[in-house]
Structure 1
Amino acid sequence: MSHARLLPVLTWRLELFTHTVPVPFAVYFSAVTGSLYSLEEYLSMGAAATIAATAMLLGAFYLRYIRLKKASYLEDRSSVDPNLLSSAKSIYITQPIYESFVIAGRWFFGVLLAHLIVYLIVGYRPNLIATIPALYLGIIPISFISYLFITEYSIRPALSKNKFREVEARTRLFFPYSKRLLVVVMAMISMPFSLLGYMLYATVDGRIRLENPLLHLAIMAFLFSVPLVFTAWMVTEAIRSRLSSVTGFLEEVGEGNFGLKISPSSLDEFGKQEQRIGKVVERLRGLYEEIQSLNEGLESKVEERTKQLKETADELGKSLEEIQKLKLSQDGDYFLTSLLTEPLHSIQLQDSEYSFRSLTIQKKKFNYKQKERQIGGDISLAHSIRLRGKPYIAFVNADAMGKSLQGAVGAIILGSISRSMIERTPALYRNVWPERWLKNWFIELQKVFEAFDGSLMASAFLGLLDESRGVLYYINCEHPSPVLYRDETTMFLEPKEKYFKIGHSGIGRNVHIEVFQLKQGDVLFSGSDGRDDLLIQSEIDPDDSRFLEIVGKAKGDLDRTYELILQEGEITDDLSLLRIETPKRNLASTEILLKDRNPEKKNGIQKTVSVQECRRLALEYSSGKKYTKAGELGLKYVQRRPTDTEFLFTVSKLLRKSGKIVLSIDLGERYRMRNPIDSDNLLHLAEMYASKSRLERSFQLLAEATAISPEHPRAKKLSEFLIEKTAQISESSEDRRILR
């Protein structure tokens, strides 16, 4: 490709990426988080971004033009001085790294220039200035690595010319794929974490207020997915094209075409291998020519050829050494990744009577600095939190899709999001119900994994354990069913609904929360599919109940369970087990203290009744239309028996009849998270929201109920009421506007 064609093609590809992905994203992010409210401020921001982007584009184009012009000049003059061709190749081969640093500088100075222009037009905006570090962390890494791969892809045709195959570049720069992939992973993690993290911090801190947060989150998710998916595609395409190029060259050599030449065309391991392969092929070509011309002096030729073969063997030995170095470098990357995953495999409980133990055996083993380590996608963690003043334990046992590094990246993302959710609980979620906390955890994981468009998924068992009651709230995302060991018998804890893996696009937002009452001395085992994928007599065992029998034989002991698994067969996949044991005390309360209000006695009369008696009394008062008393008793009952899901709905209706609408809505929403397809509850909630003038929420719930039960008799009546209510509000707003 000539200089006249290379310059516009390279500029078009690079600037198309920059001005269709990072630049609009940066402007949108700054506008949303920079507290810009008026049209003038938005226009000023747009003008500043346009001026800064144009200035940086022209500067980068000028630098690119000068450099490629020089390379073209040296290439044209190489007929006079052959050494100039090597200098020209050096410019071309280092152009990708040069472009990467140029785009980093463009963003660094361009963001400062844009903010300076905004300052000169509309004045000082502290919230806008505060977005600069987040923009740097979120955009510079992804632009750096994208420019590297785009430029390499564009420069490669120029380096494929035959004259460049015969010379080597004069440069010592070397950018291995291990470091490239590390930069890719860091860029893909830092972009959503830095930008979304700042938005969350600014929202909590009160610096910004978002009128429609779901819309902004949807826009941000879309804008995140474009550069992340593009970068992943570029990395995959770069590796594929390089392997295809080397494979095609070797295939032609294998067919006897020894006239081909190859030399390094990149500053990575592929370039090193091209150099080695080129030398080996050159040797083989000489040998082939000697064999063709052999007609006399056979003895001397054999001796000479033996010497040449020895030299060839030495070259192959050097190639083997290079491969061993690459293997050591790869193990170093594995080692660094394992250091990132280890802190996430944590169990941190505070003054808990419950016992949590985990065991993780990753399939991928490697040695680094005389130490054996492991890496994979399985992860288990458990942490103490407090919700509404009560102690809970949040835990997860998960298996990220993919082998070795890919699975480890999924485990890192899942563990990091989970730890972030736990750390943010005291500030943001301490007053929410356990069902809502668990649902928010699941949705955060789903949104991030879904952004990878199916290339990164994970099966998981997400749980939240009420320490005071022994009540387990959980969601099973296509994970093997946990095994309950109770009274020396075992059983599967089968959910009513098992979701697809986290990251699957088919998962909806109406999450079904399962509830289960644990008893004293119970042992619960959650494990990845490595527990079932045993190789027995050269075949994978199809019997999923084998693990159930193993837990029973081990009597709920974790170490003994692992020993029995090894005795049954060979483990063929990553294996992780999380063992939960309840304390040796009665977890479910059997009595409730009631207080009868007596007008003649100031403190009333106190008495103790059984939990079931309290339930019966609530229903009895309800039959007598004493809804206030019925609601109070029902509320006491569900606080002691939170697993009675159906009665939760009954109490919500009693509270509504007694006028406690807010508390009734709380219980109705909890019931909805456990049973999202109950149309009666959906209409019940919609009617209460309508009474509170929250019409948008009421319309949403009405639509869900209608989709489930189109002919429900209450749906039509509620729809007419909401339409009439909306019209009244519109007329009232119009009247106020006319009066002004």
Structure 2
Amino acid sequence: YWDFAEWEVSSYIANQIAVTVLLVPIIAIWKMTRNDRRLRWTIFWMMLAYLAGTLIPAIANKLSHAGKMSRGSFQILYNLMTILGFFALIVIYINKTLDRTTFMAKIVGISLVTILVIFQWLSYASYIQAENAYDRLHNKDMRLTMVSGQRESDLQYLLRVDPASGTTRIVYSSKNTNRVPDDLSNQFRVMETYHEILKFPDPSVAFDSPYLQGYSRFLQSMAKIPYSQRRSNLPEGMNDLQKELRIRRIEIQKTPRRQLESLRNQIRKGAEDPGPLQSFDAAALQAWSESEQTALEDSTAGTTDDPKIKETLMRYYLPVHPEGQRFYRSLPDYGHVICFALPGNDGAYYEAAYSYLDYRRGQMDVASRELLMLLGCLLIVIVGFRFFFGQTLTNPLMALLQGVQRINRGDLAIRLPVQVQDEIGFLTGSFNRMVGSIRRARKQLEGYAITLEDRVQERTNELEATVKRIQELKTRQDGDFFLTSLLIHPLTSNQVQSSTIKTDALLLQKKRFAFRRWEGEIGGDFCSSHNILLRGKSYVVFLNGDAMGKSLQGAAGALILGSVFESIIQRTELSGEIQSLPPEMWLRDAYLELQKIFCTFDGYMMASVVLGLVEEETGLLYFLNAEHPWPVLYRNGKAHFPVLPEERIMHKLGILQAEENLRIYTLALEHGDVFISGSDGRDDIILGEDDQGNRIYNMNESLILDVVENARGDIRQVPELLSEKGQISDDLSLLRIEFLGSNPNRDPILEQSVASELSAMSESSRVGFIEDRIHAIRSEERPVPSIYLRKRFEEYFRKHDFEQAAEAADELLEHDSESARYLYLASYACKRAGRIEQSRIHGERALLRDPNHANNLVNLADIYRMLGHLEKAEGCIRAAMQLRPGHKSALLIQSTLEQLKEELR
């Protein structure tokens, strides 16, 4: 491929094309905001199709001018993407257009663009095959000419080069000239060394020419590769090198005189940075510097002239094609030619050039035949389709259309003939039956008009009596609803006041009522949130529940749930003993109280709940889930379930022994995180109806994730987005918790720094270092980072200094109780230090978080043994043995418990 050498103009035009292309999506986005929702997606897909057909070729055009992509690859990409992009654009337009058109126009239009796409692929495949065939045939022709002297008519010249002596002989020339291409000897010297590296295990690589310094270092590095790997590595490395050289040559060619200094800086950077062109750039930079030095010594020398500088630099980036690959030359005597270079049997190398015009004429013959075939196909589609589909499609449709027009004018006596029993024939028959039905309905309507007044009066009297009775009953029921709603309303309040925790609740009950001048809604969903203090720390407690039953029954369950929950909150505010509980135990006690109340109804009253606490300072969230839909965490624009459903679920409140599967989950909230709990109304969406008229319900529990992402964590937008998916069929409640603070215990940079410092120290000096650092921080009246408290506890624990470890654990868990692992280790350390009660508390907290921690179960069993709680100890041992059969410590404690039981009998 040859292009005009105005590189700046080409680059400017490429930029203008890209800018022009980008104007279209701007207009499309403006149109999307101006049109209704039905047309937005159509405009969006049309915009994507247009960008596929224009933006991708525009980017490829820019890359090809920069040398990053070959011009042939650009042409292929340009043709394919233009055809495919505009094919998609036309198909979308024809299917979605609101303009007045005809059915035949759509068929012809779709057929035309489809044929164009098919011909594009066929022509591309045929051209690729023709290109490969051209290369194979001319490689064979060149070898035949080298051996026998026979030659094809398009052969322009055949050169023989002896790399050893550097001599070049013209074997054949179609022109009366003795000129040969520049740097031919250097090119074949590189090719000779290339083939020697492939043939011999220990080849010698040495070039005298300064222009080959880059190739010398490249081939020397290739020669060091093991001989068994050269066959694969050397050709691949040479191809990659030629791509980089081509980019550099284009950069040199397109650089104007005024920007030579920028080119020099680019070459200098390449010479300094390790890369495939480092040795080439270093040699070129050295030549450039020597050229300038010569110009300073001889001011009359013209070596700094722009063309000569670029011509000199180009010789250092010599292209080489050692595998008989096609390459191009533009020579003053022969014009544009296609060249091949091959080694001869006599140790010399040959280069053959073939006429580029003859090659293009051959390609034109193929293109002409394909063009005629394409025009023939288009003519058949445009003209022939009207005759092909006349009797089967066009005429029956026109007859049906005329019949509809006559119906619009009031002519009901029409009957259309059914010509063919196909879809249009079925439509025509249905049309005739519809017209017959309309005629019969008109006659019946005329008969009803005569006796209409008497019938209407009779039915009106009956209806008024029935409506009056229903209204009386409904007024009584609405009164009950109103009184119940008054009781529930103060319990479903958001009483949180916090600078770091923002809460919001949304309640949409399906049952709505109107009593006198009041209107409201009632149902079983419940949301509530409060502030409480536990162990001197501020927490936000929240409850999202869904009581079993509809309307009044569900509202009664919500009333009970809210009353008990409010009572728990009030007792917590008044009781110092309750406020001293850890958050896990507070949640456990609150759940057990709710469970006990609901179990008194013998299964006639149940509720699913999510009950939790959020520490205001750190954002650490504790929650339990009693058969409620799993909460959603919205973080950094993505929504997901922070806890995956498990096989052992904790059943609803009111189901006996549901507390056996009690588990408390923890979640460390980050700044901007949104935690959303919702009832099953978020999942119970009616998507439509099947063929039998049955409702189709949503079965995808992950649907809420997409809705939350589209709502950007705003629960006020969730009902509208759910309604777009389908009909909401149940009560819907959503509780939103957003963390606006930041956890001071999380500092990854500090943790990594401390870990690096400690790893470099000896074990004996780590504790002293940590204590000194903690003392220094406290002397500055700054809070001690958790990393120091954790490392101090770990070091004492590792040294089996359990007394110090227990004290360190108390301070650590006071600041940072995020990890259940530290709760277990703290429990073990306190037990070994003789602090049995404190050890029990830590162990039970770890058990609530992770009931499947076998070591913690064994440790807790030992603690219960020490406290005399043998039944609890046996229960822990049984659970540990189920998790890890054969646990040595569990077997030992089990044996001890059996001995104790024998002694107590």
Taking structure 1 as the reference length, the TM-score comes to 0.52
Contact 1:355/1:580 (<8 A) preserved = yes
Q: CA deviation at 1:372?
A: 2.2
- Report the CA distance shift for 1:534/1:631 in structure 2 as closer, same or farther (over 3 A): same
Aligned to 1:540: 697
Larger mean CA deviation between 676-685 and 421-430 belongs to: 676-685
Alignment of 1:138-537 (within 5 A): 320-425=467-572, 426-427=574-575, 428-495=577-644, 497=646, 498-505=649-656, 507-537=658-688
Find the aligned partners of 1:527 and 1:348 in 2 and give their Cα distance: 19
> Identity rate of aligned residues, in percent?
38
- Report the CA distance shift for 1:319/1:715 in structure 2 as closer, same or farther (over 3 A): same
Aligned to 1:83: none
Aligned with residue 606 of structure 1, among 773, 776, 791: 776
Find the aligned partners of 1:408 and 1:354 in 2 and give their Cα distance: 29
Q: CA deviation at 1:383?
A: 0.9
Q: CA deviation at 1:597?
A: 11
Contact 2:511/2:522 (<8 A) preserved = yes
Query: What amino acid is aligned across from residue 670 of structure 2 in structure 1?
Result: K
Alignment of 1:14-53 (within 5 A): none
Q: CA deviation at 1:379?
A: 0.6
Contact 1:443/1:509 (<8 A) preserved = no
Alignment of 1:621-660 (within 5 A): 621-660=796-835
- Report the CA distance shift for 1:413/1:473 in structure 2 as closer, same or farther (over 3 A): same
SS in 2 for 1:576: strand
Aligned to 1:667: 842
- Report the CA distance shift for 1:554/1:602 in structure 2 as closer, same or farther (over 3 A): closer
Contact 1:614/1:637 (<8 A) preserved = yes
1:561 counterpart = 2:710: no
- Report the CA distance shift for 1:642/1:495 in structure 2 as closer, same or farther (over 3 A): farther
Query: What amino acid is aligned across from residue 524 of structure 1 in structure 2?
Result: F
Aligned to 2:438: none
Contact 1:597/1:604 (<8 A) preserved = no
Aligned with residue 739 of structure 2, among 579, 582, 586: 582
Find the aligned partners of 2:673 and 2:774 in 1 and give their Cα distance: 40
Find the aligned partners of 2:736 and 2:767 in 1 and give their Cα distance: 47
Find the aligned partners of 2:831 and 2:661 in 1 and give their Cα distance: 24
Find the aligned partners of 1:540 and 1:728 in 2 and give their Cα distance: 62
Taking structure 2 as the reference length, the TM-score comes to 0.43
Contact 1:638/1:644 (<8 A) preserved = no
Larger mean CA deviation between 669-678 and 534-543 belongs to: 534-543
* Per-residue deviation, residues 24-66 of structure 1 (Å, max 9, x unmatched): xxxxxxxxxxxxxxxxxxxxxxxxxxxxxxxxxxxxxxxxxxx
Contact 1:597/1:605 (<8 A) preserved = no
Find the aligned partners of 2:656 and 2:898 in 1 and give their Cα distance: 34
- Report the CA distance shift for 1:542/1:313 in structure 2 as closer, same or farther (over 3 A): closer
1:570 counterpart = 2:723: no
Aligned to 2:793: 618
Find the aligned partners of 2:541 and 2:520 in 1 and give their Cα distance: 28
SS in 2 for 1:393: strand
* Per-residue deviation, residues 238-276 of structure 1 (Å, max 9, x unmatched): xxxxxxxxxxxxxxxxxxxxxxxxxxxxxxxxxxxxxxx
Find the aligned partners of 1:605 and 1:368 in 2 and give their Cα distance: 68
Unaligned residue ranges in structure 1 (runs of 5+): 1-309, 731-740
Q: CA deviation at 1:414?
A: 0.9
The aligned length equals: 419
- Report the CA distance shift for 1:494/1:613 in structure 2 as closer, same or farther (over 3 A): same
Find the aligned partners of 2:774 and 2:790 in 1 and give their Cα distance: 21
Find the aligned partners of 2:797 and 2:630 in 1 and give their Cα distance: 40
Q: CA deviation at 1:313?
A: 9.9
Q: CA deviation at 1:421?
A: 1.1
Find the aligned partners of 1:604 and 1:548 in 2 and give their Cα distance: 44
Find the aligned partners of 1:658 and 1:407 in 2 and give their Cα distance: 52
Instruction: Tell which has more relative contact order, 1 or 2 (C-alpha 8 A, sep 6+).
Output: 1
Contact 1:401/1:458 (<8 A) preserved = yes
SS in 2 for 1:526: strand
Find the aligned partners of 1:330 and 1:317 in 2 and give their Cα distance: 20
Larger mean CA deviation between 319-328 and 454-463 belongs to: 319-328
* Per-residue deviation, residues 43-97 of structure 1 (Å, max 9, x unmatched): xxxxxxxxxxxxxxxxxxxxxxxxxxxxxxxxxxxxxxxxxxxxxxxxxxxxxxx
Aligned to 2:293: none
Contact 1:496/1:514 (<8 A) preserved = no
Q: CA deviation at 1:623?
A: 2.5
Query: What amino acid is aligned across from residue 713 of structure 1 in structure 2?
Result: K
- Report the CA distance shift for 1:489/1:320 in structure 2 as closer, same or farther (over 3 A): closer
Q: CA deviation at 1:377?
A: 0.5
Q: CA deviation at 1:508?
A: 3.6
SS in 2 for 1:714: helix
Contact 2:627/2:652 (<8 A) preserved = yes
* Per-residue deviation, residues 296-337 of structure 1 (Å, max 9, x unmatched): xxxxxxxxxxxxxx9999899656533321121111111111
- Report the CA distance shift for 1:587/1:453 in structure 2 as closer, same or farther (over 3 A): farther
Q: CA deviation at 1:661?
A: 2.4
- Report the CA distance shift for 1:383/1:587 in structure 2 as closer, same or farther (over 3 A): farther
SS in 1 for 2:863: helix
Larger mean CA deviation between 536-545 and 316-325 belongs to: 316-325
- Report the CA distance shift for 1:403/1:713 in structure 2 as closer, same or farther (over 3 A): same
SS in 2 for 1:391: strand
Q: CA deviation at 1:576?
A: 0.8
RMSD: 3.5
Aligned to 1:685: 860
Find the aligned partners of 1:490 and 1:440 in 2 and give their Cα distance: 31
Q: CA deviation at 1:397?
A: 0.9
* Per-residue deviation, residues 584-629 of structure 1 (Å, max 9, x unmatched): 4345454799xx999xx99994347753454334333323222233
Find the aligned partners of 1:627 and 1:567 in 2 and give their Cα distance: 60
Unaligned residue ranges in structure 2 (runs of 5+): 1-456, 690-695, 755-765, 779-783
Query: What amino acid is aligned across from residue 509 of structure 1 in structure 2?
Result: E
- Report the CA distance shift for 1:716/1:386 in structure 2 as closer, same or farther (over 3 A): same
- Report the CA distance shift for 1:686/1:328 in structure 2 as closer, same or farther (over 3 A): same
Q: CA deviation at 1:658?
A: 2.6
Find the aligned partners of 1:628 and 1:360 in 2 and give their Cα distance: 52
Find the aligned partners of 2:527 and 2:628 in 1 and give their Cα distance: 13
* Per-residue deviation, residues 366-411 of structure 1 (Å, max 9, x unmatched): 1111332111001100011111111111111111111111111111
Contact 1:470/1:587 (<8 A) preserved = no
Find the aligned partners of 1:495 and 1:545 in 2 and give their Cα distance: 11
SS in 2 for 1:379: strand
Find the aligned partners of 1:603 and 1:536 in 2 and give their Cα distance: 62
SS in 1 for 2:676: strand
Contact 1:518/1:587 (<8 A) preserved = no
Larger mean CA deviation between 414-423 and 492-501 belongs to: 492-501
Find the aligned partners of 2:800 and 2:704 in 1 and give their Cα distance: 52
